[in-house]
Chain A
Amino acid sequence: MPLLKEETRQQQSKLAEYCKTGIVPELNGIIEENLHHYRRLVFNIGIDTIETAYPITYRFLPDEIWDKLVYEFYAEHKCQTPQVWRMPLEFYDYCVEKDIQGKLNLPFLNDLLYFEWLELEMHTMEDIPYPSYDTKGDLLKNLLAINPEHKLVKFTYPVHVLAATELEGKEGNYFLLMYREKESGRIQFMDVSILYAYILEQIQNGLTLHAVLTDADSLFQINNFEMLKEHALVFINDLKQRQFILGFLNK
């Protein structure tokens, strides 16, 4: 038998629901004029957290739309994470699930929110052990060691390149490489073409650059391996200089 009586549980539940929705409940023995402080304090924490996580979207959306969105999120959604800094991911998931971008006729909204979340996630995500690697080797024939703290993301809108006001009508295939620098923890962003995204993905899957380029040459109907190799090596050397490509994997 539960130790907490149903009546007590209900009182707690009503207060919590009030904090989420702002709809004043019937509670026993309260100081009515002070009740609103709880709604204000709870709501402010939520709204501050979301606005800090999504500064671009917050500035882009008109105030009345943003306020309504955050209000509805807080009222309808049950936040699951005990860590408030992870809560903005639930806000993104909520917007996707409720098709907010469709309702607002902003087809790039999901991409924009996800881009903003990724920046936060990349900055805070748990450390991933670096692979063991040598600094000397053959870029084409040896397996390349890459910074494990990265994400290669596909967007339908170039939210990482253009301002939110310029995204309309820019539908396409866009790829973003994000990685966290080991020492500084800074996040680096790199817009990459579909070809280079493919190359990076296959290197990540454990293929040598030579094997990847051989596949890419036919897959992308380039049919000029030497030219592809020349361009790809410029790209790979650039990534090596940026220390995204660390070196050559130890066998």
Chain B
Amino acid sequence: MQLKDNKYIGIGFRKDFSEELLDSTVLKPAFIELAPENWIGMGGYWKKQLDKAAEKFPISCHGLSLSIGSPDDLDLDFLYKIKKFIKDYKVQIYSEHLSYAKCDNAHLYDLLPIPFRKDAVKHIIARIKQVQEVLEMPLAIENVSYYTPVAAEMDEATFISEIVNGSGCNLLLDVNNVYVNSFNHKYNAKEFIKKLPLNKVAYIHMAGHEQISDTVIIDTHGEAVIDQVFDLFEYTTSLLKPVPVLLERDFNIPELEELQGEITRMETIVSKTWKKEHAIA
């Protein structure tokens, strides 16, 4: 993605604050990200808003319903709609979750954990290759937060690495998800990150979460990013070449100044860790 002036931090484009964002002199993301599912086939007022946004910002897409880890067949009709959307809006990064949201021919509209198993790895590699073939571009796959493993045969880092390396896809490294999972499953977040195929990281997500008990954090995207996640972000970016970074905020939207504050804090971090001038490829 071509970003200007060594600015790397984008924000999720949400209807809740789209109007404010488009007119804002406060919030200045380098790009915006949106879920194609929320915009494909939409006309009227929202289409106009989307078109205005596309004139003002580069767009990345983060899918919700492709269900890359599903036992069901890929929905090719839907995939071709995504392809057209990507082309229409000159989208340069398309990412999806390493999870499943559809099973037994029923969409669930949330991200369920895939069993960390060898056969699932092979199954998903084949599906990612199929997606990349149709889209004629690499897919970036995101490490998701999860609250329980299911029938696991291997650890999460191995599962992700084998899929990324076997499919040739990119990795969307969600730093908050690593933090959430390290808390929920009691592992060392930095050690986990080091095990990932970091040369394949093409995109980073940052977000807030909610700790609901002594043992569980839920990945809500409804709170400010906490200091520990900023620290993990600094550590992560020190291991990586420059890539676009997204601040996700889906609920409980604060004043735009607060969101810009988080963006500025991330810009400050990467200005140290990514000192040299880079054009993001």
**Chain B stretch 116-175: residues in CB contact (< 8 A) with chain A:** 117, 119-120, 122-123, 126, 147-152
Instruction: Please name all residues of chain B whose beta carbon is closer than 8 Å to the beta carbon of A34 when the two chains form the complex.
Output: 147-148, 184, 216
Nearest Cβ on chain B to A188's Cβ, whole angstroms: 13
The closest CB in chain B to the CB of A86 belongs to B41
Nearest Cβ on chain A to B207's Cβ, whole angstroms: 15
Which stretch of B99-107, B187-195, B197-205 is in the interface?
Answer: B99-107
Which stretch of B44-52, B234-242, B260-268 is in the interface?
Answer: B44-52
The closest CB in chain B to the CB of A122 belongs to B44
**Chain B stretch 41-100: residues in CB contact (< 8 A) with chain A:** 41-48, 64-66, 69-71, 75, 78, 100
The closest CB in chain A to the CB of B39 belongs to A83
Establish whether residues A3 and B119, one from each chain, have CB atoms under 8 Å apart when the complex forms. yes
Task: Decide if B19 is an interface residue (CB 8 Å cutoff).
Answer: no
Establish whether residues B216 and A11, one from each chain, have CB atoms under 8 Å apart when the complex forms. no
Q: With A11-B151, A13-B71, A31-B148 as known contacts, state yes or no: A184 contacts B45, CB within 8 Å.
A: yes
Task: Decide if B2 is an interface residue (CB 8 Å cutoff).
Answer: no
Establish whether residues B110 and A27, one from each chain, have CB atoms under 8 Å apart when the complex forms. no
Task: Decide if B114 is an interface residue (CB 8 Å cutoff).
Answer: yes
Q: Which of A2, A12, A32, A79 contacts B107 (CB 8 A)?
A: A79
Establish whether residues A87 and B109, one from each chain, have CB atoms under 8 Å apart when the complex forms. yes
Task: Decide if A124 is an interface residue (CB 8 Å cutoff).
Answer: yes
Establish whether residues A17 and B104, one from each chain, have CB atoms under 8 Å apart when the complex forms. yes
Nearest Cβ on chain B to A124's Cβ, whole angstroms: 5
Instruction: Please name all residues of chain B whose beta carbon is closer than 8 Å to the beta carbon of A103 when the two chains form the complex.
Output: none
Scan A33-55; emit 1 where CB is below 8 A from any B CB, else 0.
Answer: 01101100110011001000000
Instruction: Please name all residues of chain B whose beta carbon is closer than 8 Å to the beta carbon of A8 when the two chains form the complex.
Output: 71, 115, 117, 119-120, 123, 151
A122 to B46, CA, bound (A): 12
A124 to B45, CA, bound (A): 8
Q: Which of A7, A41, A42, A124 contacts B44 (CB 8 A)?
A: A124
Nearest Cβ on chain A to B217's Cβ, whole angstroms: 11
Instruction: Please name all residues of chain A whose beta carbon is closer than 8 Å to the beta carbon of B120 when the two chains form the complex.
Output: 4, 8
Scan A70-112; emit 1 where CB is below 8 A from any B CB, else 0.
Answer: 0000000111111111010000000000000000000000000
Establish whether residues B149 and A29, one from each chain, have CB atoms under 8 Å apart when the complex forms. yes
Q: With A123-B45, A126-B41, A185-B48 as known contacts, state yes or no: A79 contacts B149, CB within 8 Å.
A: no
Q: How large is the interface on B (under 10, 10 to 19, 20 to 34, 35 or more residues)?
A: 35 or more
A33 to B27, CA, bound (A): 40
Instruction: Please name all residues of chain B whose beta carbon is closer than 8 Å to the beta carbon of A162 when the two chains form the complex.
Output: none
Establish whether residues A11 and B43, one from each chain, have CB atoms under 8 Å apart when the complex forms. no
A46 to B101, CA, bound (A): 13
Instruction: Please name all residues of chain A whose beta carbon is closer than 8 Å to the beta carbon of B148 when the two chains form the complex.
Output: 30-32, 34-35, 38
The closest CB in chain B to the CB of A14 belongs to B150
Task: Decide if B211 is an interface residue (CB 8 Å cutoff).
Answer: no
A180 to B65, CA, bound (A): 29
Instruction: Please name all residues of chain A whose beta carbon is closer than 8 Å to the beta carbon of B75 when the two chains form the complex.
Output: 82
Task: Decide if B38 is an interface residue (CB 8 Å cutoff).
Answer: yes
The closest CB in chain B to the CB of A126 belongs to B43
Interface centre among A2, A81, A84, A186 (most CB of B within 10 A): A84
Q: Which of B42, B107, B113, B114 contacts A81 (CB 8 A)?
A: B107
Q: Which of B78, B112, B122 contacts A82 (CB 8 A)?
A: B78
Nearest Cβ on chain B to A196's Cβ, whole angstroms: 25
Establish whether residues B147 and A38, one from each chain, have CB atoms under 8 Å apart when the complex forms. yes
Task: Decide if A226 is an interface residue (CB 8 Å cutoff).
Answer: no
Establish whether residues B37 and A28, one from each chain, have CB atoms under 8 Å apart when the complex forms. no
Task: Decide if A136 is an interface residue (CB 8 Å cutoff).
Answer: no
Instruction: Please name all residues of chain B whose beta carbon is closer than 8 Å to the beta carbon of A3 when the two chains form the complex.
Output: 119, 122-123, 126
Instruction: Please name all residues of chain B whose beta carbon is closer than 8 Å to the beta carbon of A230 when the two chains form the complex.
Output: none
Establish whether residues A20 and B123, one from each chain, have CB atoms under 8 Å apart when the complex forms. no
Task: Decide if B40 is an interface residue (CB 8 Å cutoff).
Answer: yes
Q: Mind listing 17 A-B residue pairs with CB under 8 Å?
A: A5-B119, A8-B71, A8-B119, A19-B110, A20-B108, A38-B112, A42-B108, A77-B106, A78-B107, A81-B107, A82-B102, A83-B37, A83-B38, A85-B38, A124-B46, A149-B43, A184-B45
- Other than the given A16-B104, A19-B112, 10 more pairs (CB < 8 A) read A12-B70, A12-B71, A12-B100, A28-B151, A31-B147, A37-B216, A49-B109, A124-B44, A124-B46, A127-B43
Please name the 7 residue pairs, one residue from A and one from B, whose CB atoms are nearest each other, closest first.
Answer: A185-B45, A16-B103, A78-B106, A82-B65, A127-B43, A31-B148, A185-B44
